[in-house]
Amino acid sequence: MHFIPTTPEEEIQLLKGAGVAAFSDLIETIPKKLRLDYDLGLGDPLSEMEIEKELQELSISNEPGNYCFAGGGIYDHYIPKVVDFISGRSEFYTAYTPYQAEVSQGTLQYLYEFQTMICELSGMDIANASLYDGASAVAEACLLAHSVSRSNIILYSGSLHPNYIHVVRSYLTGQDMKLVEIPEIDGMTDLNCLNSYTDNIAALIIQSPNRNGLIENWMESKKKMLDPNALLIAVSDPFALSVLKSPGECGADIYVGEGQTIGNQMNYGGPLLGLMAVKDKYKRRIPGRIIGKTIDKNNRDGFVLTLQTREQHIRREKATSNICTNQGLLALRATIYLSLMGAQGMPYFAKICYQKARFAAKGVSELENYTLPYSNEFLMEFVVKTTHSANDVVHYCAAKGITIMTVQSDRSNSLLLIAVTEKRTFDEINYLIKCLREFS
């Protein structure tokens, strides 16, 4: 078992339980000549993340570092080791779909807890037990909106992640539905354009923070939708929701997002974790599996699959989706992570990301040939415009052990995308700035 340190308060309780007043009393039987009376030279106490960082630096002291400032939907957040430890237990790691509730109570319970925490983050009434990834979740939200309104036009912001748009187009191929882009201006959705669309609108998709890292206004988006039957689909990173006003508070009807940031590694781009939550009135239209809590004949809590509108369980023509499974292991990791972080932990780390991103943005913007083309309304990711070839800058930084990205769909080859998570130290940020300066 891993050593788990105790707090000073817990130490007092332990000593009291052992019947001694101090730790020295506990080891009184050990001769003094066998006790160390000097400093071991270990330095000040460090957190788990800081210890791992120090060990990594020692292990690669003779090699160049590799610092990830890449973003674009997948981020290098710190994951406590207990997430790996618990999710790696055989009863979780080898579990499959929990169709038999009587033998799957553990799996069903953690998925129920997962749904509960996603509802708390999103401000919605009911969540499913995950989908394949954020992109497919957006596409499923479009199908849900169409089934509710029976309208055929899906409006989407030009600042929506390009990969999401590609997947939505693929999903809607062959269906009587039309995708219409709302242009962006200065990196944000041009909400004034919504006045041009008055009827037959199934949904409007707004991502915040958007693909440029900027925070959009869901509440204003809802107000400017002239079709009363249109649904607002809010797309967001759950990590960001710990400090932003929730989609539910802003009037969104559906929340979808990518859950990689809550307890899951980057995994070279996958597998990922799709999140989805809706208002109560749409609960019978939400796709995927939903776990419900009930009471058995002996008045004990029990967990079951419920509201199963999947094609495996009802007539195919009545199904809301052909989604028949979920990313269970990744949902488990998210559940463990969210339980560890709690209502205080996630905002704490999100604010660290914010502060470090501001520090990085200020340093980069002061360099010659680098500017910030958009506003400063970002959380941990921002766009940088350079007079150089953005691709050349990315390759140069990669040779120096730094990973950054270009902005997708940028034909000018002048935009860089930089994400700063809590894992990036100020020394690493200064090293990034140094490399950009050297390229200049």
Cis peptide before 271 (omega within 30 of 0): yes
CATH number for domain 82-338, candidates 3.40.50.1220, 3.40.640.10, 3.30.9.10, 3.40.50.410:
3.40.640.10
Distance CA 303, CA 313 (A): 18
**Confidence check: pLDDT of 429 > 80:** yes
pLDDT of residue 365: 96
Measured between its terminal Cα atoms, the distance across the chain in Å is 51
> And the tokens for 152?
């055929």
Tens-place pLDDT, residues 87-131:
988 877 766 666 666 668 888 899 999 999 999 999 999 999 999
Give the chain's mean pLDDT. Answer: 90
Distance CA 173, CA 168 (A): 9
pLDDT of residue 1: 38
**Confidence check: pLDDT of 65 > 70:** no
**Confidence check: pLDDT of 289 > 80:** yes
**Confidence check: pLDDT of 330 > 90:** yes
Give the residue among 374, 372, 291, 355 at the shortest CA–CA distance from 118: 291
The pTM of this model reads 0.85
- Write down the domain spans for the chain: 50-79+344-439, 82-338
The residue-averaged pLDDT of 228-248 equals 95
**Confidence check: pLDDT of 362 > 50:** yes
Strongest mean pLDDT among 34-48, 81-95, 317-331, 417-431: 417-431
CATH number for domain 50-79+344-439, candidates 3.40.109.10, 3.20.20.70, 3.40.190.10, 3.90.1150.10:
3.90.1150.10
DSSP result, 46-82 = --HHHHHHHHHHHHTTTS---EE---TT-------HH
Provide CB contacts within 8 A for 230, sequence distance 6+: 145, 149, 151, 155, 201, 202, 203, 204
DSSP result, 363-375 = HHHTSTTEE--S-
One-letter amino acid for residue 272 of the chain: L
- What is the helix (H) or strand (E) element at residue 172, kind and residue range? helix 162-172
